[in-house]
Structure 1
Amino acid sequence: MSERSPSPPALERFFTYRLNTLAKLNDMATHALYTAELGLGLSEARTLSSIGSFPQLTVNQLAFEANLDKGQASRAAQSLVDKGLVQKVASPLDGRSVFLALTPKGKTLWRKVMVLVEQRNDELTRCLSDEEYDQLLDMFARMLAQAKAGQQTGRT
């Protein structure tokens, strides 16, 4: 009788795989929604929503908050500057650094983006009860805290 080595678990069993798949499917649906409703690409809409939600962002901070690489964040921010939706404000502490801020026109569009963000959130979580939704948010908060702590100590 020969011994078989155990077969590896199916990739679909892993939380991280499912999380990445969900994120990808959400990105595709969200991109289509932003393009159809606002004429913005996913990077631009993420950039706009982040700048409006987190005060005094630098491009590096924007990249993290918008889940973009630095180059994407820089290009999206510049595109929004060119459209008159975002302005660059010099840092009072460091003349080489700039913060990104919404213009009045950008604030108006930001509110529309946030309505769509809420709509997508509701569509994705519709299958959960209120209690399950609260539990999910709690679990994600704990996982995010753990991931951030791992980043700070060099462990991921």
Structure 2
Amino acid sequence: MSGTETRLTDFLPYRMAITSNAVSGLIAGEYRSEFGLKIPEWRIMAVLGEVGPLTQRDLVHATLMDKVAVNRACKVLEEKGFLQRSPNEEDGRSHHLELTVTGQELHAAIWPQAVEMYEKIFSSITTREQDKLRSILDKLLKAARALESDGK
């Protein structure tokens, strides 16, 4: 079968996207109903909870969400009191975004639930398969980012 004859169900980017959406949707169900967060908002909180303050540009890079989605999610989180902005001393045109104490507490409440759902889903594959999947995903992301850099 040539590349032009590939069926959608055999097209790996499509399969990865629907699998990712299914997994994210299950995990999101946990924090959407209890905490009123949408997937983009939780992604921002998860990244900031893991690495600390970042600029909006850094968040776009870390989450691979577009600028508009990151901006919108950050505004919602800020309005809810979960995120705060502070001046970026290195670049006066941008701000550092970080979780407030309330945001940190919410992150600490949601994270165990997200991990529990992750463990339920990923228990369907062995630890070795999980490690292999991580390795493959790392390679694909690296290749995509390299191609993206080449195109700029």
Same fold by TM (over 0.5)?
yes
TM-score range, shorter chain: 0.7 to 0.9
Aligned to 1:51: 48
Aligned to 2:13: 16
Match of 1:79 in 2: 76
Q: Secondary structure in 2 aligned to 1:110?
A: helix
2:138 is equivalent to residue 148 of structure 1 = no
The answer for the alignment partner of 2:120 in structure 1 is 123
TM-score, reference length from structure 1: 0.83
Shift in Å at residue 109 of structure 1? 0.9
Identity over aligned pairs, percent: 26
Given residue 32 of structure 1, which amino acid in structure 2 is its aligned partner? Answer: G
TM-fit CA distance, 1:51: 1.7
Distance, in Å, in 1 between the alignment partners of 2:21 and 2:129 is 22
- Per the TM alignment, residue 90 of structure 1 is displaced from its structure 2 partner at its CA by 0.4
Quick check: 2:44–2:74 contact (8 Å CA) kept in 1?
A: yes
Alpha-carbon distance change, 120 to 63 in structure 1, aligned in 2, over 3 angstroms: farther
For the pair 1:132 / 2:137, whether they are aligned, the reply is no
Offset of residue 18 of structure 1: 0.8
One-letter amino acid of the structure 1 residue matched with residue 67 of structure 2 = K
**Correspondence for 1:60:** 57
Going by fraction, where is helix more abundant, 1 or 2?
A: 2
Question: Which protein has greater RCO, CA pairs closer than 8 Å, 6+ apart?
Answer: 2
Gaps of 5+ in 1: 1-6
Task: Give the CA deviation at 1:112.
Answer: 2.2
Contact 2:52-2:98 at 8 Å conserved across structures: yes
TM-score of the superposition, structure 2-length normalised?
0.85
2:85 is aligned to: 88
d(CA) in 1 for partners of 2:61, 2:112 = 22
Structure whose CA Rg is larger = 1
In structure 1, the residue corresponding to 2:5 is in which secondary structure? coil
Q: Indicate conservation of the 8 Å contact 1:49/1:113, yes or no.
A: no
Report the count of equivalent residues.
149
Structure 1: how far apart are the matches of 2:125 and 2:97?
A: 36
